[in-house]
């Protein structure tokens, strides 16, 4: 009888394993535009995100790419993006440094259509950016690249004339912000979403902080799903603050809260199945 119970438990374990989504995550923590976020802050935020309760349970593997890993589409970061595009699972990349390396989008606007980051998102994956204007330029090798300028974001989003330029930007948390990112406080955003520019686009916006038509943090969600899931681009706390004035740095803990509280709920992350598999395995060991 004991052997039968063990067999049935193992069968259940294998069945649950088939449900587990093997999502992966990557950080890009390479050189920063130092006026926007300091290198030390980036390293601390990567550690804070990975250590935030519930983040590791969302992913099969978490990798961190730094300086030297990001130069061109054949770089280690470029290879990661290609391997995680169209693989049938929703993966996540975070540009903790706020810069956009050439592995993601060749500067200056050398690939306005079909860059690796655009293909990654269109396939149904997630890009999260903090600090500087998303897709604006790279600092790989410690040297500022020629600017993509506003065209970088406009090309990736496929919204002509899209801008994240400074406006009033006196951001207060929305109801969603208070619910999903409880550590969020009022702040000044230098590079907010201009929400009016997304009307009639291929994107819906979910807004966690706003000031009129300025939004930050917010996530743009593609209206059409891809092979890997529903593509998303989150721009969060895009502000010129080398060291965040409040502790802990919201660009770390806030991203962690967003991922565990909102993204896990609205993306494709079968964490419940992973929990069930762990519980079943524990019961098998107890029975023997």
**What tens digit of pLDDT does each residue of 246-287 get?**
999 999 999 999 999 999 999 987 654 444 433 333 443 444
CATH architecture for segment(s) 23-269: 3-Layer(aba) Sandwich (3.40)
Per-residue pLDDT reduced to its tens digit, 66-101: 999 999 999 999 999 999 999 999 999 999 999 999
What are the φ/ψ torsions at residue 263 (nearest 5 degrees)? -65, -40
CA distance 243 to 36: 8
Per-residue pLDDT reduced to its tens digit, 124-144: 999 999 999 999 999 999 999
* Terminal Cα-to-Cα distance of the chain (whole angstroms): 12
Q: Is the pTM of this model over 0.85?
A: yes
- Tell me whether residue 208 is exposed, middle or buried, using C-beta atoms within 10 angstroms of its C-beta: 0 to 12, 13 to 18, 19 or more: buried
Per-residue pLDDT reduced to its tens digit, 187-202: 999 999 999 999 999 9
pLDDT of residue 2: 52
Q: Determine if the peptide bond prior to 118 is cis (ω within 30°).
A: no
The neighbour count for residue 50, using CB atoms within 10 Å, is 16
Pairing of β 193-194 and β 232-236:
unpaired
CB-facing half-sphere around the CA of 27: CA atoms within 13 A: 23
Whether the pLDDT of residue 111 is over 60: the answer is yes
Which candidate, 199, 196, 233, 232, places its Cα nearest to that of 215?
196
Whether the pLDDT of residue 28 is over 80: the answer is yes
pLDDT of residue 22: 82
| Residue 121: pLDDT band with limits 50, 70, 90 | very high
Beta carbons of 170 and 157 less than 8 angstroms apart: no
Beta carbons of 162 and 190 less than 8 angstroms apart: no
Whether the pLDDT of residue 8 is over 50: the answer is no
Sheet holding 214-215, edge to edge: 187-188, 170-173, 209-211, 214-215, 193-194
Which candidate, 271, 270, 287, 275, places its Cα nearest to that of 13?
275
């Amino acid at each position: 009888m004991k052997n039968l119970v063990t067999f049935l438990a193992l069968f259940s374990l294998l069945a649950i394993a088939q449900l587990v989504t093997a999502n992966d995550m990557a950080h890009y923590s390479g050189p920063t535009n130092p006026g926007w976020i300091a290198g030390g802050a980036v390293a601390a935020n990567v550690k804070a995100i990975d250590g935030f309760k519930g983040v590791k349970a969302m992913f099969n593997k978490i990798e961190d790419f730094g300086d030297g890993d990001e130069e061109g589409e054949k770089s280690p970061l470029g290879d990661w993006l290609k391997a995680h595009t169209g693989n049938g699972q929703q993966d996540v990349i975070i540009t903790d440094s706020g810069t956009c390396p050439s592995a993601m989008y060749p500067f200056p606007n050398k690939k306005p259509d079909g860059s690796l980051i655009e293909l990654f998102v269109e396939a149904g994956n997630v890009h999260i950016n903090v600090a500087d204007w998303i897709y604006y330029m790279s600092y790989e090798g410690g040297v500022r690249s020629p600017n993509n300028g506003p065209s970088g974001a406009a090309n990736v989003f496929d919204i002509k004339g899209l801008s994240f330029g400074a406006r009033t930007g006196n951001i207060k948390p929305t109801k969603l912000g208070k619910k999903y990112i409880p550590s969020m406080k009022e702040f000044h955003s230098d590079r907010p979403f201009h929400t009016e520019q997304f009307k009639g686009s291929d994107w819906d916006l979910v807004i966690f902080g706003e000031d009129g038509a300025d939004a930050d943090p917010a996530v743009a969600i593609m209206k059409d799903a891809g092979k890997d899931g529903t593509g998303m681009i989150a721009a969060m706390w895009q502000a010129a603050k080398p060291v965040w004035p409040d502790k802990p740095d919201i660009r770390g803990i806030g991203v962690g809260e967003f991922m565990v509280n909102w993204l896990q709920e609205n993306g494709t992350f079968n964490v419940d199945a992973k929990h069930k598999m762990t519980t079943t395995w524990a019961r098998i060991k107890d029975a023997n």
